[in-house]
Amino acid sequence: MDAAMVGEAFLGAVVGVLVDRLASLEFIDFFRGGKHDESRKKLEETMVELNKVLNDAENKQFTDQSVKRWLEEVKDAVYHVEDLVDEIATEDLRSKVEADFPRGKKRFRDNSLISTFTRFFDRGGAKYSKLGEMIVELDQFVRKAKDVLGLREVAGRYWSQTRLPSTSVVDESCVYGRENDKNEIMKLLEDDKPCGTFENVRHFSCVQRNFDGVDKLRLIKDAKCLRTFLQINHRIDRYGSLRKMLWLSNKVLDEIILGMPRLRLLSLSQYEFEELPCSIGKLIHLRFLDLSNSRITQLPESVCTLYNLETLLLSLCHFLTTLPADLGKLISLRRLDLSDHSFGTNLKEMPVSISRLKDLQQLTDFVVGKCSGSGINGLKELNSLRGAITISGLENVTSGDNALEAKLKEKKHLQWLTLEWGSTTEDSQKERDVLENLEPHTNLKILEITNFGGTRFPNWLGDKSFCNMVRLWLHKYENCFSLPPLGQMSSLESLRINYCPKIETFPEGGLPSGLTSLRIWKCEKLKSLPEQLHTLLPSLQSLVLLDCPEIESFSEGSLPSKLVDLTIRNCEKLVGGRRDWGLRTLPSLTNFYLGGESEDVLESFPEEGLLPPIITELWIVDLRNLKSLNGRALQPLVSLKRMLITNCPQLQSLPVERLPTSLSELIIRGCPLLEPRCRREEGEDWHKIDHIRFISIDDKVISETISYSH
């Protein structure tokens, strides 16, 4: 095995792919009527004969050097055949695409295909001559295998009958035992060997920290046979810092691309560049292109000539504002990743031609533009979409009928749908009509709706037919006065209601009994939670209430017994009645967070008997009047491991009693009176905490006796 063949696919798999492609209807149609159809048949027959002896050769190569050398020679020949076959298939794709994208005078497809065939093979005769030479060479390999090496036709896996990709691009998850090869190729890079060293390398991957200079990158730019160039993602170094990315100028990038014409996979996600050169269109074999994290503002139109491209990754491209108008020419595209989970995509609209990508399976983001040609109807034919999609710019949808054109109800493979309005509108009825007609398929599992400007929710939300939905997040509903009835959504596990300032009560239909997580934030007029929570939500494990000042209290015994996490912040009336919550009776409560204002003046916390002894994590945050911690209440917390005290400006000291001996992590921030008392060795309260393994004050570690994972 050639040490430079990092990630090499099995030869039998490559041959199997070629046999399938040569026998495909597309190939037969492409050659039909041409004088070279006999050559296609002969090539197919020869590849089939070669495939028959490969099983025996794969077994004997380890004991017979002659067989091993034969396999290496065959490998080179087969990859050259694959390149030519791929060129033919690409030309066929190009002709079909151009027939669907006419320019000027209308062309007829049959004439276009004939002229394409003639142009491909007959101009100068070079391609036909090359095809003939390949057939002769492969035939000689078959004869040598049988007559000289004595290889037999061994029954076994026939590769073309297994599930194979349309190209030999390697699946890295299936590559084993190549560490020695990787070490050797990295040694070549470190020794600055000349470019010729890499002339037979087909698959190359590396970690940037070991391969981080432009000069080193240039070493493999003339690896003419290279099919895979993959940078392993290690943007965070061993110390948790963001690793500096290598800057590539347009000239260097252009030079690299032109030097690798046979690439199937190209990953540039670990490099920083502002422009992708037009030469990218020369990579006609490309299936996978990763430009994530780059600073590009647009893609060159030549990208749209990559007719074999199946995956295009543009995640975290913060400066990308537009996509090519002819994106729809990428008829092989299955995956288009535009995601930016931190800030959202900056694209202004989608190209009109995106509606032609009917086989697209992943589209992370769809932006509805202001122009009529970039509307939501671009989703109409994309019924193969699966996974997650965010549809934003919904304020630009002109009417409910316009929304209906997206046909979301027909997209049965989608599992996660996010609907976003960029701004609210005065026409609340239009907003409601739009959302009413964006009803998804009932297979949907996760639904998020943001910045909806209607006064009422659509009729379908909460319907029992959505029995597969497990998560519903509703964010920023400034005009809604009531929540939809959700009690019939039998599978719902997580519910978030954020920034709904006009909602006062929960719906009469109640909440789904299977809820495990409930989060309510900024519902300033909400006065109470549903009564008898322990009965209504027996499976609830996490309850988060933030900035809900009018919620008055939990009645004792009303909190579910399975509650594990309880977070209360800026709920003044509720915190005032904390002694009545019955927390000590909760057998599963291990995490408790208390923060913000209280109706009473909270100067000491916690009260004795308030918390159950099984608490393992305690957060005390933004208690502006807090002056002391109650040591008698903390001592019984024998399971407490982590404690965080943040933004308590009047907290003067730690309790006289030492903090619980079980405590292994203490984090203090924004407590100016407490900080000097906790200084290592010299602070007045140091002896109270010197048993704690990890201590951090104002983000500075002052004690760390073990390696602690956060």
In sequence order, what are the residues at sequence separation of 6 or more whose Cβ sits closer than 8 angstroms to the Cβ of residue 340? Answer: 315, 316, 317, 318, 346
At residue 156, does pLDDT exceed 80? no
Give the confidence band of 13 by pLDDT, cuts at 50, 70, 90: confident
Q: Give the per-residue pLDDT at 225.
A: 84
Instruction: List, for residues 316-325, the tens digit of each pLDDT value.
Output: 999 999 999 9
By three-state DSSP, how is residue 531 classified? coil
How many helices, marked H, and strands, marked E, lie in the chain? 15, 26
Q: Give the per-residue pLDDT at 55.
A: 84
Q: Give the per-residue pLDDT at 4.
A: 29
At residue 707, does pLDDT exceed 70? no
Give the confidence band of 611 by pLDDT, cuts at 50, 70, 90: very high
* pLDDT mean over 682-708: 86
In the structure encoding, which two tokens stand for residue 205, read together? 């991957």
* Neighbour count for residue 578 (Cβ, 10 Å): 21
Please tell me what DSSP assigns to residue 380.
T
At residue 376, does pLDDT exceed 90? yes
In sequence order, what are the residues at sequence separation of 6 or more whose Cβ sits closer than 8 angstroms to the Cβ of residue 665? Answer: 641, 642, 643, 692, 693, 694, 695, 708
Q: Give the per-residue pLDDT at 164.
A: 39
User: What stretch of H or E contains 28?
Assistant: helix 25-31
At residue 193, does pLDDT exceed 70? no
Which tops the pLDDT comparison, 701 or 28?
701
Q: Give me the architecture of the 590-709 domain, per CATH.
A: Alpha-Beta Horseshoe (3.80)
At residue 3, does pLDDT exceed 90? no
Kindly report which listed range (436-440, 569-573, 601-605) carries the lowest average pLDDT score: 601-605
Give the confidence band of 305 by pLDDT, cuts at 50, 70, 90: very high
The pTM of this model reads: 0.87
Kindly report which listed range (115-119, 210-214, 267-271) carries the lowest average pLDDT score: 115-119
Residue % of the chain over a pLDDT of 90:
55
Give the Å distances, CA to CA, from 622 to 247, 299, 522, 602. Answer: 43, 48, 17, 11
Give the confidence band of 10 by pLDDT, cuts at 50, 70, 90: low
* pLDDT mean over 379-391: 96
Domain-by-domain residue ranges, the chain?
A: 11-98+120-148, 455-577, 590-709
In the structure encoding, which two tokens stand for residue 564, read together? 């594990």
At residue 184, does pLDDT exceed 60? no
Q: Give the per-residue pLDDT at 120.
A: 59
In the structure encoding, which two tokens stand for residue 612, read together? 């159950």
Instruction: List, for residues 488-516, the tens digit of each pLDDT value.
Output: 898 999 999 999 999 988 887 779 999 99
Q: Give the per-residue pLDDT at 25.
A: 83
Q: Give the per-residue pLDDT at 709.
A: 45
* pLDDT mean over 658-683: 93
Which tops the pLDDT comparison, 235 or 49?
49
At residue 532, does pLDDT exceed 70? yes
Gap between the Cα atoms of 404 and 460, Å rounded:
14
* pLDDT mean over 466-495: 92
CA dihedral 278, 281, 283, 287 (to 10 degrees): 120
Instruction: List, for residues 205-243, the tens digit of each pLDDT value.
Output: 776 655 556 766 777 777 788 888 887 765 555 444 556
At residue 427, does pLDDT exceed 90? no
**Nearest Cα to Cα of residue 570 among 613, 634, 523:** 523
Give the Å distances, CA to CA, from 625 to 546, 579, 629. Answer: 19, 18, 12
Give the confidence band of 676 by pLDDT, cuts at 50, 70, 90: very high
Which tops the pLDDT comparison, 372 or 143?
143
Give the Å distances, CA to CA, from 457 to 64, 396, 481. Answer: 74, 19, 10
At residue 194, does pLDDT exceed 60? no
At residue 583, does pLDDT exceed 90? yes
Instruction: Work out the mean pLDDT of the chain and round it to a whole number.
Output: 84
